Structure 1
Amino acid sequence: MLAVLLGCAAAYLARNWMLAMASPPPPSGTIVVAATALGFGTVLNSDNLNEIPWPHGALPDGAFATKNELLKDGRRALLAPLARSEAVLKSKVTGPGQRASLSALLDQNQRAVTVRVDDVRGVAGFVLPGDRVDVVLIRTVERQNSRPENVSEVLLQHIKVLAVDQLVNERQEAPTVAKAVTLEVTTEQAQKVLLATNIGKLSLILRQSGAGDPTAVRPVSEDDLGAGKEVPVASVATPIPASLPATAPAPTVVEVIRSMKIERYNVIRAQ
């Protein structure tokens, strides 16, 4: 009887232990999420936020455990759109009392500069906020032979796009033909961009998502396209008459060059 009782007790304890290992512990904390879909610039308050259960001590970096923790120091606004039930993170909201402006999107020691584009130089509208681009300068330079030549140079690489016109929504999916693109740059890079706008034309090259660091790129000139090489021009000869009077002197051929085009003429000396 004692052995039977001990066996039943062991089976009961083993069953409880297996159930405890199979089922995760119930959440003992909360996390703040969006109560509904919220757009850029939305001012956060108790009505558009929710607290849902979340395991204590397992909050994502930058998350808020309670609404009071999020709103205690003053009003905050969204810097990025949020879907329903998406967690509110510090990187997606302004500081206490700040408004949702472009300056709030800038990283530390960064500046914003705007480049004028069109449907071609703006990659047909497929450059959207959050993308990475290269900035290319196309200008005309004077060579040693005083012949003007067009040159294309990569001015900046791996630059983050902050806004397209007045659109800063990183979740925008439809292409938009814009007139201006705002880039996040350093102070020195901003100086280069502003100076380049007075020298030539600026165009954007869209980089692959997740592309690596900038690489060395040499300028490209017309010679690389073959446009600077002289193409031989076929000469046009004037046919020589089949027969001349017996008393006429032999004709002399005169070559005349006009704009790299050679023309030949038969000239008879005067007696």
Structure 2
Amino acid sequence: MRAVFGLVLIVGIGLAGFAVYMAKDYIGNYQAALAAERANRGPEIELTDVYVVNNTLAYGERVTDENIRIVQFPTASLPAGVFSNIDQVFPQGEKRFRTVLRSMDANEVLMETKVTGAGEDAGVSARLASGMRAFAINVDVASGVSGFLRPGDRVDIYWTGRSVNDSVTTQDVTKLIQTNVRIIAIDQTADQDRATPTVARTVTVEAAPEVVATLAQAQATGRMALALVGTLDETVVEAVEVDQNSLLGIEETKVEAPVAEEKCTIRTRKGNEIVEVQIPCPS
């Protein structure tokens, strides 16, 4: 009996030891896997709450409480002009809508540059920067770059008219009067997503008040033409002026008037007559 008891005890101790060994091996493998997973895990990403649109919105549509929601976005990758709380989207005391200026896809981050101010429609006034004014320029297929201009493009403005030379003669001259002027509307639309070329009749630009006066004078006294500036072009354009002579390569030469030969005379009286006699001039 004692032998059986001893055998059972030995078997039990062996099974217990085996169980401890297996458990230790399992725990060791688990800890190793956990350490490897922690080593491979990247640093924690800081997130910020931002508003996105629920569905695709086109120019002129309204952004309201119903078509936006808040999501978490990586803080380090946040674009400028996002909205982090509802009071930024719809300030207290303002109408609870904004109007889309540039189309947005579903789940796109809502940004200030793509919508008007709270309660505003998508008119030209919503596109003007502080202190700037809108001025309409009459154009046609030639002066308006064949209809390929869009709101948001930048143009150089040239004036062609009559110029007065030496207070007497006049001739046609073309002159660069403004550079890098931003277009805010074509005809009656300020949609920057407009892609179909159309021949515009008016182009509305954004300019400071003193520039508006220059453009008004230019439009009243001659003809204006626009030259499209490249999107990535940062060239500073110097003064440009071309007249008929420079266009044709004609160089002006001043013709000096011939110097009249100096004559010296003396007058003598002969009776009742006065006679003028030419004599050599003194050196």
Aligned residue in 1 for 2:50: 31
- Is 1:17 aligned to 2:38, yes or no? yes
Post-superposition Cα deviations, 1:108-160, rounded to whole Å, max 9, x if no partner, equal 21111110000110010011111110010000123338443110000100001
Partners of 1:28 and 1:226 in 2: how far apart?
65
User: 2:122–2:190: 8 Å Cα contact kept in structure 1?
Assistant: no
Q: Give the Å deviation of 1:52.
A: 3.5
Cα distance, 1:169 vs structure 2: 1.3
**TM-score (norm: length of structure 1):** 0.73
The answer (yes or no) to whether the contact 1:30–1:65 under 8 Å persists in 2 is yes
Whole-Å Cα distance in 2 between the matches of residues 145 and 31 of structure 1? Answer: 65
Are 2:69 and 1:47 equivalent residues in the alignment?
no
After TM superposition, list the pairs within 5 Å mapping 1:206-225 onto structure 2.
206-225=228-247
Q: Counterpart of 1:198 in 2: which secondary structure? A: helix
Provide the C-alpha distance between the structure 1 equivalents of 2:79 and 2:156, rounded to a whole number of angstroms. 33
Q: How far apart, CA to CA, are the structure 2 residues paired with 1:69 and 1:221?
A: 55
SS in 1 for 2:177: strand
> Quick one: which amino acid aligns to residue 37 of structure 2?
N
Q: Which residue number corresponds to residue 164 of structure 2?
A: 142
Cα contact 2:134–2:206 (8 A) shared by 1: yes
Aligned partner letter, 2:122: A
Check the 8 A contact 2:51/2:83 in 1, yes or no.
Answer: yes
The structure where helix makes up a greater share of residues is: 2
Instruction: State the number of aligned residues.
Output: 228
Shift of 1:210: 1.9
- Distance in 2 (alpha carbons) for counterparts of 1:100 and 1:125: 22
Verify: 1:122 aligned to 2:141, yes or no: no
**Corresponding residue of 2:191:** 169
Distance 1:214-1:184 versus aligned 2 partners, 3 A rule: farther
Aligned pair partner of 2:115 in 52, 73, 93:
93
Give secondary structure in 2 for the equivalent of 1:156.
strand
Q: Deviations over 1:76-111 (max 9, x none)?
A: 222322222221112322333333321121112111
Deviation, structure 1 residue 33? 1.7
* C-alpha separation in 2, matches of 1:110 and 1:172: 23
- Unpaired segments of 5 or more residues in structure 2? 1-20, 253-283
Tell me the alpha carbon deviations over residues 207-230 of structure 1, each in whole angstroms, 9 at most, x when there is no partner: 111211532123100001218679
The answer to whether the 8 A contact 1:111-1:185 is kept is yes
1:63 equivalent to 2:82? Answer: yes
Deviation at 1:173, TM superposition (A): 1.8
Matches of 1:147 and 1:56 in 2, distance apart?
67
Q: Are the structure 2 counterparts of residues 88 and 147 from structure 1 closer, same or farther at C-alpha, using a change threshold of 3 Å?
A: same
The 1-side partners of 2:251 and 2:90 are apart by 68
CA distance in 2, matches of 1:69, 1:216: 43
In the alignment, the residues of structure 2 paired with residue 66 and residue 144 of structure 1 have an alpha-carbon distance, to the nearest angstrom, of: 66
Stretch deviating more after TM superposition (109-118 or 39-48): 39-48
Q: Which SS does the other structure have where 1:108 is aligned?
A: coil
